[in-house]
Amino acid sequence: MISVNGMAHIVINVSEWDVCKPFYKKIMPFLGLEQVFDGDEYIYFVGGRTAVGVNKCQSEYENERFVQQKIGLHHFCLRGKSKEDIDRIYNYLLQIEAKVVEKPRAGEWAPGYYFVLFEDPIGTRIEVNYVPGKGVLETGVGFTPGEHYK
């Protein structure tokens, strides 16, 4: 057995590259991730001990949208450093007219859990949360998924 040291990166494939690429180029730097690669079909951001890659999908999938309940990615979540971060992110999402799925609110998954949930232009769900202390990451306490995870 090993003990991993967090999640290094996530790479997502997107359709509608012409609208998704500018969206990620706005939101990721706002979240503190620096863009370290900018290609014609791939962009990559690094910060906060993680990285996010965004890849243009193959042409035969260009007209498809993300479906949360299909096999594969359900959503991904980045961690903020304070409740105020979550509120700032929410206000920024309103400024850039992103689709907000859940306004900032408490969640039942850990004591003090506070989050905002939004979508990229093709419906990929992204959460940013704040959990005081170590939350459930190192306590061994589990959680029961609520409506947010269905």
CA 113/CA 111 separation, integer angstroms: 6
Average pLDDT of the chain?
Answer: 90
Residue 56 or 71, more confident: 56
Q: How many CA atoms lie within 13 A of 101 on its CB side?
A: 18
Q: Which domains does the chain have, with CATH numbers?
A: 9-149 (3.10.180.10)
Q: Provide the pLDDT confidence category of residue 99 given band limits of 50, 70 and 90.
A: very high
Nearest-Å Rg of the Cα atoms of the chain is 16
- Asked if pLDDT for residue 62 goes beyond 60, the answer is yes
The encoded tokens of residue 144 equal 């029961």
Mean pLDDT for 31-39 is 97
How confident is the model at residue 135, as a pLDDT?
54
Q: How far is CA 51 from the centre of its chain?
A: 11
How confident is the model at residue 147, as a pLDDT?
52
Bridge partners for 79 per DSSP: 129
Mean pLDDT for 53-76 is 95
Closest CA to 38 of 51, 25, 27: 25
Mean pLDDT for 117-122 is 98
Sheet of 9-14: strand order equals 9-14, 50-56, 42-47, 34-38
The encoded tokens of residue 19 equal 């609208």
CA 130/CA 119 separation, integer angstroms: 18
How confident is the model at residue 134, as a pLDDT?
63
Mean pLDDT for 138-148 is 51
